[in-house]
Structure 1
Amino acid sequence: MQLELRHLEAVCRIAEAGSLGRAAARLGVSQPALSAQLKRIERAAGGELFVRGRHGVDPTPLGEFVLSRARRVLGEMDALAAGARAAAPHPTLRLGCILLVLVDGLIGRLEREMAGQETEIAVSVEHSVTTLGRMLGAGQYDAIVYGEVADHEVPLPEGVVARTLVPKEPFCVRMSAAHPLAGRDRIDLADLAGETWMTLVEDDDGGPEALVDACRRAGFTPTLRHRIADRKMHYDLIASGRAISMSQPTAPPAEGTVLRPLTGDPITGRIRLAWRPAALPVLHARLLYRAAALAYLDNVPNNSFHRTWWESRPELHPDLD
């Protein structure tokens, strides 16, 4: 087997994540599949690239060598892609996002806000904030929309401008409509001890750590079991009563489930926008911010508890002017 770009990407993601499990989630594959792929890569490279330790995996001397060359090759490929795009007569606005609720309406809002700009729009969804930042820095995205949970701050490449879209929103819980607590208007996190939680799809935005920390403060350690990116499958599992999940308060209703706020807002997040000024003119950056803000506001009425919370905090509202 010869090493290919996808193999180099996998090696770099494993090193960045520090574990096969986290790397598999960011690459969108199962851990057994990534482990099998790593074994094939190591056979092609001539030896072990990583050793397992108490806190994850660490590169071997051979792994360090392969990583240094892999990063160089991937960097050259990123530069090639960015250069080719810069030479194109009509470049497309390339926007990367994680799976936030506002993404569903973002394209429509962008098309309306940027009407007359003669700019094509391409929106892609990633399951890793780390990947979004790397691709933004490499010129593969012109802008990204992402979330940060609790005190976590996503590292951004040099030369990037960032602006906060929503400085604070309280996460709520989605559970089966038949759950014994579903009839409550608000739920204490401590009352969810013993529940099975859906593992978050994005594991590098501070969300998993914030959930575990909040649950520990409430007196228990959460059981994290399922990781499902497909929304319908996610909702169906919850509707069946097999799990509950953390959710944005703007999330739409789903048959067989309910959304309930948590007492005291123990877990909060924010939504941010970042872009490369060299790729995104000032006017386009303003229009993108406005479109994303309107897409968020479109979903505020989805849940009355959040609408009330939001309307009482005008200082959090995005600046549409």
Structure 2
Amino acid sequence: MNLEVRHLRVVCAIADTGSVTKAASLLGLAQPAVTAQLQRIERALGGPLFERGRRGVTPTALGELVLTRARVVLPAMKGLQEDAARLAGHRVQPNQWRIGAVSGPILGGLMSRLADDGTQVLTHPSHWADNLAELTAAGKLDFCVVGVCGDTVPGAPDDGLVWREIAIDAVFVMLPESHLLADRWEIDLAELAGAQWASLPGDGCFGDCFAAACARAGFTPRAMYEMDFGNALDAVQAGHAVGLCKATFRRVDGIVTVPIAGAPLRWRHLLGWHPRGEAAAFGDVVLAHAVAAYAESAARNPHYLKWCEANPRFGPPPLPIA
């Protein structure tokens, strides 16, 4: 048997988890299959790679040698694959950038500003920030504009992407204009304990963050209706549900947006790119355009700007000093 990269991944997974069973779970394989593969690897290399004990497995001297080499080879192969994908997927036109984005207030204004600079934008929409991060790491996108509610960033820890913060949005409540709380300056989340909620699909931690905010307010929210943006608006307009939205949400007839007292939820807008990507040298330029696009969007909501005066950690970032 010839040793392959996938075999090195198996050896590293066993060493990192300390168990064949845990390695199988990490690799998404059946435990007998990993055991059989390890036996084939050991026969090919001429000896056992691990010693079994009560506390799991530990590498033998031969195992340590293989692990030392594997930890050099695997990152090198990953880098080779990324660079090859980036070269194979290079743009036909040098003034054409591929930008992926989740739903938000930034992409439209960013496209307009880049167009003024003579750059055409090819867009790739997605509900899932991790998907856009993966495509950017693989060289299939030049930039991605995503959002997260926590302090982490999308994608895998070792994907090598650069992330820059565009702005921090507050999360507001969407209500029908006829709602009893629609004319309030702020709403305590507890006042909506009995509400039916509508939400957009996505794979981030926002659902967990919302549930935690409700728990701090003393209640458990009812199960959400997950629906696309248009249907969510229809449900709110008809009074069947209330929703959550970014404070920069553009006004829609029949719907009002109201801040949540204490600002328990936030949305961080991020710009990501790969430092070895073809467009990486323009990262700061794109970031400046994205910040300007966000500020323009926020300015359409005077209520939000006034609210931000009392909550300065949200809203458009301060202008740079000339």
Of 246, 259, 262, 1:261 maps to 259
Give the AA of the match of 2:246: Q
Asked if the contact 2:173/2:257 (under 8 Å) is kept, the reply is yes
Give the AA of the match of 1:127: H
Structure 1 equivalent of residue 219 of structure 2: 220
SS at match of 1:171: strand
Asked if the contact 1:147/1:270 (under 8 Å) is kept, the reply is yes
Structure 1 residues 297 and 209, CA, compared in 2 at 3 Å: closer, same or farther?
Answer: same
Structure 2 equivalent of residue 111 of structure 1: 115
After TM superposition, list the pairs within 5 Å mapping 1:20-99 onto structure 2: 61=30, 82-86=86-90, 88=92, 90=94, 92-99=96-103
2:232 aligned with 1:234: yes
| Residue-by-residue CA offset, 1:131-173 (whole Å, 9 max, x unaligned) | 111111111111111111034443455332211111x322110
Q: Quick one: distance in 2 between partners of 1:105 and 1:280?
A: 23
Q: Quick one: distance in 2 between partners of 1:184 and 1:175?
A: 11
| Residue-by-residue CA offset, 1:261-316 (whole Å, 9 max, x unaligned) | 01110111211111112224455212211211111011112322311133563896
Q: TM-score, normalised by structure 1?
A: 0.68
Asked if the contact 1:177/1:256 (under 8 Å) is kept, the reply is yes
Structure 1 equivalent of residue 65 of structure 2: none
Asked if the contact 1:85/1:91 (under 8 Å) is kept, the reply is no
Q: How many residues align?
A: 250
How far the C-alpha of 1:109 sits from its partner, in A, is: 2.2
Give the AA of the match of 1:183: D
Give the AA of the match of 1:61: A
Q: Quick one: distance in 1 between partners of 2:144 and 2:122?
A: 12
| Residue-by-residue CA offset, 1:173-205 (whole Å, 9 max, x unaligned) | 00111112112221110000011111332231x
Asked if the contact 1:150/1:267 (under 8 Å) is kept, the reply is no
Structure 1 residues 159 and 264, CA, compared in 2 at 3 Å: closer, same or farther?
Answer: same
Q: Quick one: distance in 2 between partners of 1:240 and 1:76?
A: 53
Q: Quick one: distance in 1 between partners of 2:165 and 2:152?
A: 14
Structure 1 equivalent of residue 209 of structure 2: 210
How far the C-alpha of 1:59 sits from its partner, in A, is: 5.0
SS at match of 1:86: coil
Structure 2 equivalent of residue 132 of structure 1: 132
Q: Quick one: distance in 1 between partners of 2:298 and 2:90?
A: 38
How far the C-alpha of 1:233 sits from its partner, in A, is: 2.5
Q: Larger C-alpha radius of gyration, 1 or 2? A: 2
Structure 2's unaligned 5+ residue stretches are 1-26, 35-78
Using the TM superposition, name which of 303-312 and 136-145 deviates more: 303-312
Asked if the contact 1:172/1:246 (under 8 Å) is kept, the reply is yes
Give the share of equivalent positions with the same residue, in percent: 26
Structure 1 equivalent of residue 4 of structure 2: none
Structure 1's unaligned 5+ residue stretches are 1-57, 66-74
Structure 1 equivalent of residue 159 of structure 2: 158
Asked if the contact 1:165/1:318 (under 8 Å) is kept, the reply is no
How large is the Cα RMSD of the aligned pairs? 3.2
Of 269, 272, 278, 1:271 maps to 269
Q: Quick one: distance in 1 between partners of 2:98 and 2:194?
A: 43
Of 94, 102, 106, 1:102 maps to 106
After TM superposition, list the pairs within 5 Å mapping 1:142-153 onto structure 2: 142-153=142-153
Structure 1 residues 110 and 211, CA, compared in 2 at 3 Å: closer, same or farther?
Answer: same
Q: Quick one: distance in 2 between partners of 1:145 and 1:85?
A: 20
